[in-house]
Chain A
Amino acid sequence: MLHEFTAQSARSNSLSKSLDITPDALEQYLKSKPIVRALGELDDGVYSADATATLYQEVKMVIAESAEGWTTTILTLNAPATAATTLAYHSFMYMVSCAGPVFLDRYDIDGYPETGDVPGTMRARLAETHPLSTGASIDLQPGPHAYLLRGAVQHTKIMRLVGPAVEPVTATFDAQTGDLRSLAYATAEGTSPSFFTKLADALLREGAATIAPTEIDAVIDFFNRRLDEPDLDAFTRWKLIQIMGRHRPASAVAQLERIRDSGPPRLAALAAQALGRR
């Protein structure tokens, strides 16, 4: 269930070792220098480059401060979102100011998205709508849910505290159809292997005429070794095997058999399917 912090029910929690979210602590934190500076930057439209996270049309977001894996941002929304997003991390939101009624929709999903959950394979169902107003705060935990802010979100100003990622990806779901729309890595550590894999895949495809077999072997061997890394996310793991399958099928079959026999259930099922199609 969604749990709303109000002036009466705010409680201490694990958001930060140094920040105790009582009403008094929240009030004091809102007056602290990093928050005041970030709020001022959003109001003035003049930003210090190292503090500004994004100046996209849809959202303006300024990083107020980061410490111990937690980041506090101040953001304003310029347009309603069209997709509900899962949370890969603990997120606490405080509504600094709302221009009108704002609602947080919670969608439920059958399990947190993971490998094989390509667009169209998962669906989110609207489960609950929660009204929010100026001064309200809300504590959201990672889990099989996606969230969407709607209503008078234009010019609504929010302070958000975000903790360390506990899931490898975030997923977005179409608000109208509930279909899985996209996936993005939740950490830089997850992003880089994924990006390099994409680069190598595109290069091996487009450069087929110029890339020597020894270069292909080197990449496949590299990918084979990476598959033993325990922290490698499932998406990239699956992509590596696909690339192997395209260029060195015998290596891919060995990896698929290994995953089928001892991998996590959803990945094992996918491996069995892939082997069955051969």
Chain B
Amino acid sequence: MEFFKQLDDAPRGRSADTVIAELDSLIKGGWEHRKSEIAGLMAELRQDHLLLRNFMRKVTDEDAWPELQGAQSYTLHASSNCVVRVNLWFAPMHGNPALDTFRRYLSVEELHNHDFRFFTTCLLGPGYRTHFYLDEDWSPKRQAGDSMKMRDLGEHRLSGADVLFVERDVDYHLQHWPEDFSITLNVIPADPPGASRVQYILDSETLAVRFVARS
């Protein structure tokens, strides 16, 4: 997990499509050592609600409701290099509006890792709090009940001008519902070939594996 703090000084004036094209190109060319540049482009998309305004304009131009992916996401860009999507987070007072069949994609109030890497930032609203842990002994062969050796990285709030990078497999987080409606942006680089596909959900008190999901 890496934080890129207060990226308010990103350049202005470009279209969202131009910024996304640059993002895609940057990721295609090898991005592991250029995370801060990705974070900077994401900050640019956040400024003046550039990305959300662009999304809203495309929807009105196409004159049809956009298609929702999973429980809470609209995909804005998808290529062999990366996926760019926005996620909608509702406050608990509004209840969980997700369909039963999609709820597994809403990993809120559950300590879990991901089998993909992603950058995220808050586009609208107060954002959410997340408690992070680092798995110091990653294994794709764990079973339910296995104990974990985890380093507590503390609680963070995804809001304001921060961009967060979450590493696949080893970064675990316990995410809470936001206090008010919020929208986040995810940039998800394509996985390396042959990457393992296993996700663990842990007991947040004992840190032992509760569930294993393989695909």
Contact = CB atoms under 8 A, between A and B. Distances in A.
A67 interface: no
Interface in B74-121: 74, 86, 88, 90, 94-104, 109-110
Interface in A173-191: 181-188, 191
Contacts of A196: 59, 65-66, 74
A1 interface: no
A254 interface: no
B215 A225 contact: no
Interface in A39-54: 44-50, 52-54
B52 interface: yes
B49 A211 contact: yes
Given A196-B59, A207-B49, A191 B183 contact: no
Given A46-B144, A49-B213, A196-B65, A203 B59 contact: no
Given A45-B212, A55-B211, A195-B72, A185 B65 contact: no
Contacts of A206: 49, 124-125
Interface stretch (A124-132, A213-221, A269-277): A213-221
Contacts of B197: 49
A200 B94 CA distance: 17
A71 interface: yes
A219 B63 CA distance: 10
B208 to A, nearest CB: 11
B66 A202 contact: no
Contact of B101 (A56, A71, A181, A207): A71
Contacts of B72: 195
Contacts of B183: 199, 202
B84 to A, nearest CB: 15
A86 interface: no
Contact of B110 (A44, A57, A193): A57
A52 B213 contact: yes
A61 B56 contact: no
A200 B97 contact: no
Interface residues of A, number: 49
A226 interface: yes
Contacts of A84: none
Contacts of B53: 203, 207, 210-211, 215
B109 A57 contact: yes
Nearest to A66: B101
Contacts of A207: 48-49, 52-53
A243 to B, nearest CB: 12
A203 B124 contact: yes
Contacts of A53: 100-101, 103-104
B49 A182 contact: no
A172 interface: yes
Contact of B68 (A55, A195, A222): A195
Interface in B126-149: 143-145
Contacts of B199: 49
Given A184-B97, A199-B52, 8 more contacts: A45-B210, A53-B103, A55-B210, A61-B103, A191-B99, A192-B67, A215-B57, A222-B60
19 contacts: A47-B214, A49-B214, A53-B103, A55-B210, A56-B109, A184-B95, A185-B99, A188-B99, A191-B68, A191-B98, A194-B97, A195-B68, A195-B74, A200-B56, A207-B48, A207-B53, A218-B56, A219-B60, A221-B60
Interface of A: 44-50, 52-57, 60-61, 63, 71, 73, 172, 181-188, 191-196, 198-200, 202-203, 206-207, 210-211, 215, 218-219, 221-222, 225-226
